[in-house]
Chains A and B, each alone.
Chain A
């Protein structure tokens, strides 16, 4: 369906690592993709596990980058956060919160079950108007760079397969079953309506 490309949203908690990695890859492959976070804040690792860097969704990646450089350039270079932010700011200005976005999608891919629950809760709490369906699929990805990359490729493959189906809604079930078998991870999958 080249005329009506799949509108994809990739959602993780903070719209930094997993969703952005997938956003990056998917947009390179020519998808109509956007990425979101569902958290109330954007959290990035800090100097200690209990001291994360917390920003709100209005903060741009640039600002975060500068903030972290100022705080401890070495640490954040070494743990790859700066590199990630650099990548992110090339993709878009700032992280976006899924709950604040009223645009419609055909497919929402979430990166962990908690995010999936939040997305579902949000979509179901919206007032239904058009009854346009949106499929929500959860692919569990651990929140680190390597898994994010692997997960992004999996998501990308999934999206490509869905894009190539003649009748997505009719085939997605089977497709997901195949993917589950292939990737040895379970996918949660549901449909919501706008």
Chain B
């Protein structure tokens, strides 16, 4: 691997799955737009099978090629339409249109053109539906400049245009107007509903669907009504009937394949099935979790799927039974819990559904599970104050979880502190202790004493509250014989300082010291005797964040004030070591190294500073990290340390830094170049070209590739084994300097540790691990891609190589694909 010279901020996972209507392929795969990618899921196993990347901006439309059901069109804001072979994840063609594409429609009746919505040139916020002629020329990258306007003044949303029976007409809605254009007669009919405003909302159009076999248009409205329009080829004699169940906006509509039933969904998170367009016959699928954004039907009518606003895809059987769900990162409006890393699963933990805690796996971009903390029915109603989760803390081993929930009341907040114990049997958290009103006022911070020891006695939880105290909670033996558990938590100590509000709390790495900030002052307490040891203060300005240094820097305490100062105090001398003028929003120590990341916000851009507390000079500065305000950050330990060439990025070796911006975008820093991160799928075809095209060669090629990969992985593994240190060395290196014994005592241990012990790992074990590794590399390759590039990149030699290889002719390509699709498993019998 070539070490690149730059760090790039990349969007990672958690991208919205509801950018466009999902599409069922003929052989039960689900294709949907996810950020800049098109994802392919298996309907049967809900697994992500393929991530197709190549667009440089959000994907806005996904449509099967009506003439070849193994191909897929996708459109993007980057102005290109791509034709994919989704079974292999290969982009076949790229058509560059030029302007932003906001929606894509493909029709069986139009031979060589698709329809897209583009902004009208010269006018803001007006859009038009145009048909794009897709040239049949050879070559991968084509220009598609032959546009013809079909409808003017359409809405940008893809839900507001629909094509009628056999492509005879197109209907579009905007505000209170419906326009229907008949292709054959070149006739445009306009209808409108009276713009009445009731207390339940206005009756603007929100979505549209056309009956597959009859001349019938269904429109959804903001007041929850569905209108079924008929006879709309007469300007005057048109008529409509109304179906009304939804109490709020109808978000999407879909007809069944025969048109006998209609599906509708809205913010009620209920899927409604209307039979025979009748108001009286309807079925419901309730409790779908969150508002339904899109509904799509499979072409055989056996399945339908709903895309939800909380990044979920629900697959539903034809008899309206819930079948499967695919859950991405839930973007709640306010992440109050912060970004927390679950030590057990290394998953990112944050607010999920209201009152729930989501465990989000960064590698697979999927929710691992959702833990119901509040355990109360969530009522979907505006203006209703409901209990929500505000603080989360894990103990060092992930054995204990502490959560704080509160209900926002003006007079007195309703608080609850819950302690959850990880049950190995059920593999989930179990409620151990519930403490009502742990503080009189809001809890501002909470932390466990992070001790690596396994015994539970040393586990201490500290909560800091706005009621001017911090409380220490310890486990006690439960004396009640009726109790099902042996331990429970109770308050051990209440500390306060001059009646100031406690704002932050933090334990030193060895757990011997507790730092609690009281407005302008940081107090340091002995965690055994709960004596106030010393205080630090950097007036003016209240303390915003505090943290202790780690490892070699554990004698330092870092604090950030809201007057824009970053201070570092020496705990041994009780003096200010250094301070810097920096408006720090986020202060995040890396748990595995002594590095501390600070994100500052200055004049509309966020900057990242990484430093070691013992030096006042930052080791890494990244100005203009992103334009948005960064709210939260977290270091997530890597499964294996990454090999990073540049000394500058050494701090990223063991952990990865993730940010959450105020637009709920999850970002990370990557050292890999853009080219590496992109799936080299576009080159796959080229690689295969060099092989002689025979069935054997295909099989052989695959086998060879696999083997070579294995070899590489094996090599890495061996290398890793060498680097693995004995516990003694680890202990030696990890213990803070001020608590280490004398060097003469440590010397023999250190020498011993350098001796190589006998390797007695069985070969099978190694093989197992190899398999896992190879899986992981695959995952990595298609996990993320860049959005903002910091600096000019070197052109990769790989790419040049790819360009040079001669291109296949069209017929050859087809031949090749045909061969690939054939089943040669019989060969293995020989």
Chains A and B are bound partners: no
